[in-house]
Amino acid sequence: MGSGNSYYAAAVKAATKSWRAFFFGSIDPGNFITIDKPPAALWVQALSGRLFGYSSWSMLVPEAAMGVTSVLVLHRLVRRWAGNLAAHLSALALALTPVAVLMFRFNNPDAFLTLLCVLAAWALWSAVETGRTRWLVVAAGLVGLAFDTKMLQAFLVVPPFVLVYLVAGPPRLGKRLLQLAAAAGTLLVAGGWWVAVVALWPTASRPYIGSTTNNSILSLVFGYNGLSRILGGSGGGPAGAGGGGPTFGGAAGWGRLFNTIVGGQISWLIPLAGAGLAAGLWLTRRGPRTDRGRAGWMLWGLWGLGCLATFSLAKGIFHPYYTVQLAPAVASLAGGGSVALWHLGQRHRAVTA
């Protein structure tokens, strides 16, 4: 089965031997230095290792379980939005997307990040259906945990979530704004508590914050894992990589996701997803404000476009496997879009017959 990414595997092994390494995400049980990400994904793997003993099996089986769960949750979510056929097609598309197949059997944080984003979308959709604040709070809490998994990349789903509920949430505008404010507070607490603890912890009694030049967790959040990823820049990374180092996925630009490195991993269904999105928005153009069909197209469309733009134009370190976060949106738009295109064709046939 192998050990996946040896960099993260070392941190998982350290976390099975030291609870301090577990909390901080240290790469070594002596707590000299941390990895370049927050430790939430490592917690799952390390708890499995503590329960079953550290091995490639105990580390990677949870990743596979995350993949299966992501597919099942996406199926149920799309079924609530667009029906059984769209759900079957979307789940099949996610299960067969090459980058998802890879990352759901690997020990990078991306599998857990993707699962948390899909679960958050489920909670958001429940809020759209019911208008209840608690579902928005659950969605925000899950995105906060995703932040503790891969920092600012988790927030790529926040603008779509906010806009979808702001437009399609059942309550009046004033209440929707208050509900979103409550969700924002939840997100701040759920995502910020670990950062706050590390920032306030005496530096002499904690490991050095890896991939920073000043031992600051805030530098990791806003520097190496933040603006340096988008704008490029300097910063020490694993194996000596810096924020302005190689992108590994080709040059930044709108064609990056279709190049020979990335295209085969995620982009095979993007043309169908785009056509399906256009068809779905056209079919639901006359619906009321709270029309759930249009809300679904907004959710997956904005999710997909936001990830596509970010991954395409990022000038810092970019790995092709980051695009697994785009996979649920592409799969949903392709699955739901196939059904929408069929309906659009049927309507056109009826008009021209």
Higher pLDDT: 249 or 117? It is 117
Of 160, 113, 141, 120, the closest CA to residue 327 belongs to: 113
The pTM of the full predicted model, rounded to 2 decimals, is 0.94
- Which two structure tokens, joined as six digits, stand for 282? 């056209």
Contact present, 9 and 3 (Cβ < 8 Å): yes
User: Can you read off the two tokens belonging to residue 64?
Assistant: 């596979």
pLDDT band at 242 (very low <50, low <70, confident <90, very high): very low
Report the b/e string of 160-169 with b at 16+ CB within 10 A: bbbebbeebb
Choice among 168-177, 233-242, 247-256 with the minimum mean pLDDT: 233-242
DSSP single-letter state for residue 211: T
pLDDT digit string (tens) for 246-258? 568 899 999 999 9
Cα separation, 109 vs 41, in Å, equals: 5
**Helix or strand holding residue 311 (H, E):** helix 292-313
User: What CA–CA distance (Å, rounded) separates 38 from 34?
Assistant: 9
CA angle (302 as vertex; 286, 68 as ends), nearest 5: 115
pLDDT tens per residue, range 12-54: 999 999 999 999 999 999 999 999 999 999 999 999 999 999 9
pLDDT score at 241: 36
Token output for 11: 């941190």
Cα 344 from Cα 279, distance rounded (Å): 7
pLDDT at 350: 59
Element (H, E) at 274: helix 270-283
